[in-house]
Amino acid sequence: MEVKEMTCIRCPMGCRLTVTKDGDNYTVTGNTCKRGEEYGIQEMSCPMRVVTTSVRVIGGVRPVCSCKTADSVPKAAIDDVLKALAQLRPVAPITIGQVLAEDIAGTGVSLVATANNRAAN
C-alpha cells in the first residue's frame, strides 16, 4: 500500500488530497469534487507533464528557440526529454509548430517549436 499527499491543481481551491494505492485500487480523500479524485489518481498512477523549454538554434536572429512537447509526457521521462533536446541544433528559419524532433527520448511525443526564429542575414 502506498499513500501520497498532494495539492489538487484542477481549481484554485487547492484541496489537500490523500491518495492511497492498494494494488490496482486507488482511494482519494480530501477532495471536494469529482475532478479532484481524477487528478489524484492520475498523479498517483502516472503523472504527466508538458515540457516547455528551448533549443539552441544555428543561424537564427535569436540564439535559442522555445519549444514544447506536443503532448504531455510521463513526469519520470522529463529528464530524458531535456537531455535529448539539449543535443538538438535546428537551423533557422524556424516557424511556430515546426516539428524539431519526433518521438523525443522515446516518449512517442514530438517536440515542436513554439516561436518563430528568422534566419539571420
Partner 1 sequence: MKKFVDIAVIGGGPAGLAAALEAWRAQPELNILIIERDHEPGGILQQCIHNGFGLHFFGEELTGPEYAGRFIAEVKKTSIEIMTDTMVLELNNERKILAVSAENGLIEIEAKAVVLAMGCRERTRGALNIPGSRPAGVYTAGCAQRLVNMEGYMPGKKVVILGSGDIGLIMARRMTWEGAKVEVVAELMPFSSGLNRNIVQCLVDNNIPLKFNHTVVRVDGRERVEAVTIAEVDPATKRPIPGTEETYECDTLLLSVGLIPENELTNGAGVEMDRITSGAVVDETRQTSIPGVFACGNVLHVHDLVDNVSNEAKLAGLSAAQYVAGGEKKVEKYHSVNATNGVRYAVPQRISADASGKLDVYFRVGNAYRPAKLVVRCGEEVLATRRKAIMTPGEMEKITLDADKITGDITLEMEA
Partner 2 sequence: MSATNYDVAVIGAGVVGCAIARQLSRYQLKLALIDAAEDVAMGASRANSAIVHAGYDCPPGSVEARLNVKGNAMYDAWCADLDVPIQRIGSLVIGFDEQDEKVLEELYDRGIKNGVPGMELISGDRAREIEPSLSGEVTKALYAATGAISCPYQMTIACAENAKENGCEWLLGHPVTEMKVVDGVVEITMGEEKITAKHVVNAAGVFADEVSAMLGDSSFTVSPRKGEYMLLDRTATSVKTVIFQTPSKLGKGVLVAPTVDGNMFAGPTAVNQTDKLDTSVSQEGIDQLSALSRKSVPTINLRSVITSFAGVRAQPSTGDFIIQISEVCPQLIQAAGICSPGLTSAPAIAEEVDSLLRKAGAELVEKEDYNPIRKAIPEFRHLSNEERTQLIEKDSRYGRIICRCETITEGEIVEAIRRGARSLDGVKRRTRAGMGRCQGGFCGPRVMEILSRELGIPMTELTKFGGNSRLLTGVLKED
Q: What are the residues binding partner 1 (CB under 8 A)?
A: 6-9, 12-14, 32, 49-54, 56, 62-64, 66, 68, 75, 78, 82, 96, 114-116
Which of partner 2, partner 1, none lies near 62, with the C-beta cut-off 5 to 8 A by kind?
partner 1
CB of 23 to partner 1, least distance (A): 26
Minimum CB distance to partner 1 smaller for 16 or for 22 = 16
Contacts within 8 Å (CB) and 24+ apart, 82-86: 82/51, 82/53, 85/53, 85/55, 85/111, 86/55
Q: Which residues are 66's β-sheet partners? A: 54
